[in-house]
Amino acid sequence: MSRIVPLRPPYAPEIQQQFDRVMRGAPPLMLFRVMAGHARAWDKFRTSSLLDRGPLSLRQREIVIDRTCALNACEYEWGVHVAIFAGAAGLTEAQVRATVLEGADAPCWSEAEQALIAAVDALHHRATLSAAEFAALSKHYDEEQILEVMLLGGFYRTVSYLANGLALPLEATAARFPARPLPPAADRANE
C-alpha cells in the first residue's frame, strides 16, 4: 500500500472527469489517485505534467520517459509506460530491455536515439549537457524538441521521486524491470 492513502471511488465529478481525460476510460493509476487527494499537488502535477502531445514523436517521448524512470530505479512508472506505450511507440523487446540494462551506445538504437539517450543520461547524472552532447542532440532534434527532452526528463524524475518515495505498489498490468543477466560461469566462480 502507498505511504499516502489514495482516493477511493466514487470520485468527485470533477476528479472523475480529470481521470477520464488522462486515462481514457481505464481505471486511474494509484499515483493519480494519491495526487488527486491533495488539490494543490494534483493541480501542479496535472498542469506541468507534459501528458499532452508535444514536439517529440511518441517513440522519442517514450525513450526519454523509460530511460529517465530506469535511471531513477522507478519500476512503477517505467512499467506503466512500457505496458501502455511501448508497442504503439514501436519499441522492440531488446530496446525496452536496453532502457534499463544498456548504455546509450547499445546497437539496438539509431544514431538519433543514441544521442537522445546520451542526453537523458547526462542530464540525470550531471544536470547538464556538454558541448559535444548538445551538438549530438542538435544534429537530430530542433530547439523545441531539445527543450521537451529536458522538461520530460525533469518531470519524470519528479514522477520517479513520487512513486519511489510513496512506495507505490506496482500496477497489476504494468511491465516489470528485466532481470540482469548472470555473468558467465567463470566470472561467477571468481566472486
Q: pTM of the prediction? A: 0.89
pLDDT of residue 25: 85
Across all residues in the chain, what is the average pLDDT?
93
41 and 130 in one domain?
A: no
109: CB partners within 8 A, 6+ apart: 95, 98, 117
Residue 106 clears pLDDT 90, i.e. is over it: yes
Give yes or no for a contact between 176 and 182, defined as CB atoms under 8 angstroms apart.
Answer: no
pLDDT of residue 190: 52
Quickly count helices (H) and strands (E) in the chain: 10, 0
Q: How far apart, in Å, are the Cα atoms of 140 and each of 75, 95, 111, 135, 146?
A: 29, 19, 9, 9, 10
79 and 40 in one domain?
A: no
Residue 101 lies in a domain: yes
Poorest-pLDDT segment among 6-15, 40-49, 166-175, 181-190:
181-190
Residue 6 lies in a domain: no
19 and 75 in one domain?
A: no
Residue 119 clears pLDDT 70, i.e. is over it: yes
- What range defines the domain where residue 23 resides? 13-47
152: CB partners within 8 A, 6+ apart: 50, 54, 56, 61, 64, 65, 68
Number of domains within the chain: 2
Residue 93 lies in a domain: yes
